[in-house]
C-alpha cells in the first residue's frame, strides 16, 4: 500500500486517484473515515471523502 503525500489516502497507485499527487510508500498508521462530516480527525486532516487515510506520510 502507498499513501498520497497531499491528501493521505491509501492506494495501490503511484499517483493519487483523488487529487493526482504522487504517493509514497513511507507512511505510518492509518484511520478509516466513514463519515467525514462527523469525524473530528477527518476535519483536522481536511478529509472530505470516506476511505482509508495514513496518519503520517513522508
Query: Given the rule CB under 5 A, which residues bind Zn ion?
Result: 4, 6-7, 16, 18-19, 21
Give me the least distance between CB of 32 and Zn ion, in Å please. Answer: 16
- Indicate the residue among 16 and 54 with the shorter CB distance to Zn ion: 16
Those residues whose C-beta lies under 8 Å from the C-beta of residue 55, and which sit 6 or more positions away, are 8, 27, 28, 29, 30, 31
Q: Least distance in Å: CB of 5 to Zn ion? A: 7
Nearest distance in Å: CB 52, Zn ion: 12
Amino acid at each position: 500500500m502507498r499513501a498520497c503525500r497531499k491528501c493521505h489516502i491509501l492506494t495501490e497507485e503511484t499517483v493519487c486517484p483523488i487529487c493526482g499527487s504522487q504517493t509514497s510508500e513511507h507512511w505510518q498508521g492509518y484511520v478509516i473515515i466513514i463519515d467525514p462530516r462527523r469525524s473530528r480527525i477527518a476535519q483536522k486532516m481536511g478529509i472530505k471523502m470516506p476511505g482509508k487515510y495514513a496518519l503520517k506520510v513522508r
